[in-house]
Structure 1
Amino acid sequence: MSSSSAKKSTIVRAKKWIAIGTVRSAFRVLEVAAPGPGARWAERLWLTVPKRAWRPKSFPPVPEGEAFSLRVGAGTVLGRTWGEGPAVYLMHGWGGTGEQLDAFVEPLVDAGYRVVSFDAPGHGASSQSMAGRGRSTLPEFIDSLRAAVDRYGEPHAVIAHSFGAAAVVLAVLDGLSAGRVVAIAPMSDPIGFSYTFAKMLGFGERIRTRFLKAVEKRVSTSMDVFDIPARMRAVDPATLPPLLIVHDLGDREVPVASGEKLQAMWPGAELDTWTSLGHFRILIDPDVVRKVVAVVSVSSVPRTLPVP
């Protein structure tokens, strides 16, 4: 890196930390003096999607596929399908796009599957979220998957990344029947993340509880519905499909502890850890893709063993 590039990078980092420090200072004041306005601000930030989705230097080439559109709420979800056979659904994470999982398309088609991929509301080519431009919500991720399944049939498997994996877990807990699930760098506790979010932005319980109430009102659903650990404690293990968790040990966006937590909650889940791939490059690593496709290609196993 040249000296000018290094200087520019240092300036950008400094500006970023100044901005974060200013936000934290403001939230500390609002926590004490005006938790209501603080909660409204926190809710906006909670629902805001990053402006730029991660892109590798070059996406794996894939055929054009067949475009489709789905009505989800008041919006339109756009996606593509490839191949014929049992359906395998690909679900991106928060701030992502369906094409981030393109590395799985051709291997799955070659293995005899129909691949279904889409952009969630407020992401990629799909229309804006019910939360407004530049935002999205967890229920819309779940509803998009349900709409795709209604169109293309019961999943032989679902491969999901990060926040998308949380949506898939919740869909399964709500009754989605899937032959198996692959969760890559999964977020395993969306409600628990609100504590991390509060700590990161510098506010306490007065704002945290209020902003969750605001989200609850916006999506017309109790936050208890999205409490994965609590719901996992109440689920019948026999209703759960086989689960493979793929996580990089050095993931900075969603630490591997999240994958370990999901493994501990999900009876029989396998955790496959990797190194030096991070949160996104794990989606295009050839060895990871081969492992995931091999697992997906295994015939579904009985959810309960026969009584001798």
Structure 2
Amino acid sequence: MGVSGSQKSTTVRADRRRAARRRKAALQLALVRARLAALQAVSPRRAARLALDLWCTPPDGAGRRRDDRTTPGMLTTVTTDTGARVVVETWAAAGAGGEERTGRGGGPTASGSPAEVGVVYLTHGWGGWRGQLGAFVEPLRAAGYRVVAFDAPSHGDSGPGRLGPRRSTMPELADALAAVVREHGDATAVVAHSLGTATTVLAVRDGLPVERLVLVAAIADVLGELDGFADLLRLSRPTRELLRGLLSDVAGRPLAELDVRETLRTHPVPPALVVHDRADKEVPYPVGAALAAAWPEGELLTTEGLGHHRLLRDPEVVRAVVGYVTPVRPDEPVEHDLARRGV
């Protein structure tokens, strides 16, 4: 079957837009490198402060603002220990009647009921928002779960973080999850994406109770990501060392504690399903495979051709995630290598 002229025209326009975005990104990177090079020559500390600001600025983009929710939930807000206002969206379990109860902060939250078997939290990644994980909402509700999603500080509809608008940190994202769980009830499971996986593990390290984790396109080596960031910006050794010190000060803890693998070595963690695609360009597949192998009671779900974002809305992935969260039934096995299906 041939391709119509209109389809060809649409493809050409999309290719041109992508090429224009790449040129713009390359120019912006060149300008940032030039500015940092000039600063490093006179004041590595000032260069490190600029690098810190860049590191703490979440990216934007259409993919990160995609909305896969099919029905609106009930909106409330939660205030974190550091004073950030976090927007929370809640969906009652199917058949729960959408009743309300008063949360610890005085606001309404979806009520538990005989139809509710637990609470599942959805945690987005760096630069993302709650709507990205919307494809999980209805299947989880149908399975009997109340579903709670939220926007981290300086993300989505939430207020700014401690560093101001469009700035945030990993500990701040972890604290937001902990605050939401305190308000909305113990977590049966947390389904997290990208950097949200690392911040969820950080929250677990800090004492968040959760029965199961689902880590989609997981990031494990945060310090390695920082090294890659420093390489990209061509930071000198003095600037890198100052940047690490500034980051530790902002985080209020040693940077080693942000590393998922260090938490696995030193803290108990719940069972986890790691979902990773072989074509993920943001976090290579071996990262997820190694994490699943190192995780006590860890399982790996492999997909093919879904990349870093599309697996959040793939029906087979959603089915497998809901199956993992739900108590296993002998007549409903979960396929853990979707790549074999040509997904």
Q: With the length of structure 2 as denominator, give the TM-score of the two structures.
A: 0.80
Residue 208 (str. 1) matches residue 240 (str. 2): yes
Question: Which of residues 195, 217, 240 is equivalent to 2:249?
Answer: 217
- Residue 108 of structure 2: aligned partner: none
Q: Is 2:65–2:131's contact at 8 Å kept on the other side of the alignment?
A: no
Relative distance call for 1:124 and 1:209 in structure 2 (3 A) is same
Greater relative contact order (Cα < 8 A, sep 6+): 1
Whole-angstrom distance in 2 between the partners of 1:8 and 1:242:
42
Question: How does 1:77-88 map onto structure 2 within 5 Å?
Answer: 77-84=86-93, 85=116, 86-88=118-120
Aligned to 2:49: 40
CA apart distance, 1:48: 0.4
- 1:8 positional shift: 5.9
Letter in 1 for 2:258: F
The secondary structure found in structure 2 opposite 1:180 is strand
Is 1:98 the counterpart of 2:126? The answer is: no
Q: Deviations over 1:253-300 (max 9, x none)?
A: 122222123223312311111111111111001110000001100269
Equivalent of residue 77 in structure 2, options 66, 69, 74: 69
Q: 1:173 is aligned with what amino acid?
A: R
Shift of 1:223: 1.8
**Match of residue 250 from structure 1:** 279
1:142 paired with 2:150, answer no
Q: Which residue of 1 aligns with 2:112?
A: none
Contact kept, 8 Å, 2:129 with 2:156, in 1: the verdict is: yes
Distance verdict in 2 for CA 1:116–1:33, change over 3 Å:
same
Could you say what secondary structure the match of 1:89 adopts? strand
Does structure 2 retain, via aligned residues, the 8 Å contact 1:78–1:118? yes
Aligned residue for 1:269? 298
How far residue 219 of structure 1 moved from its aligned partner, in angstroms, is 3.2
C-alpha contact 1:188 1:261 (8 A) present in aligned 2: no
State the alpha-carbon separation in 1 of the partners of residues 87 and 32 from structure 2.
35
Cα drift, residue 222 of structure 1: 2.6
Q: Unaligned 5+ residue runs, structure 2?
A: 1-7, 94-115, 330-343
Larger Rg: 2
Aligned to 1:296: 325
Q: Hey, what's the Cα distance between the residues in 1 that align with 2:222 and 2:142?
A: 35
Q: Show CA shifts across 1:90-125 (max 9, x none).
A: 000000001110100010011001101000000011
**2:334 equivalent in structure 1:** none
Which residues of 2 match residues 191-202 of structure 1 at below 5 A? 191-202=223-234
User: How many percent of aligned residue pairs carry the same amino acid?
Assistant: 39
Single out whichever of 119-128 and 222-231 deviates more from structure 2: 222-231
Provide the secondary structure at the position in 1 that maps to 2:183.
helix
The alignment of Structure 1 onto Structure 2 pairs a total of residues equal to 296
**TM-score for the superposition, normalised by structure 1:** 0.88
Residue identity opposite 1:40 in structure 2 = R
- Residues 219 and 5 of structure 1: is their aligned pair in 2 closer, same or farther, counting only changes over 3 Å? closer
What root-mean-square deviation, in Å, do the aligned CA atoms of Structure 1 and Structure 2 show? 2.2
Distance 1:279 1:200 in 2: 21
1:233/1:265 contact within 8 Å kept? no
The CA distance in 2 between the partners of 1:292 and 1:170, in whole Å, is: 21
| Pairwise CA distance, 1:179 | 1.1
- Give, in angstroms, the shift of residue 240 of structure 1: 2.1
Distance (whole Å) between structure 1 residues aligned to residue 255 and residue 37 of structure 2: 24
Q: 2:186 touches 2:210 (CA, 8 Å); kept in 1?
A: yes
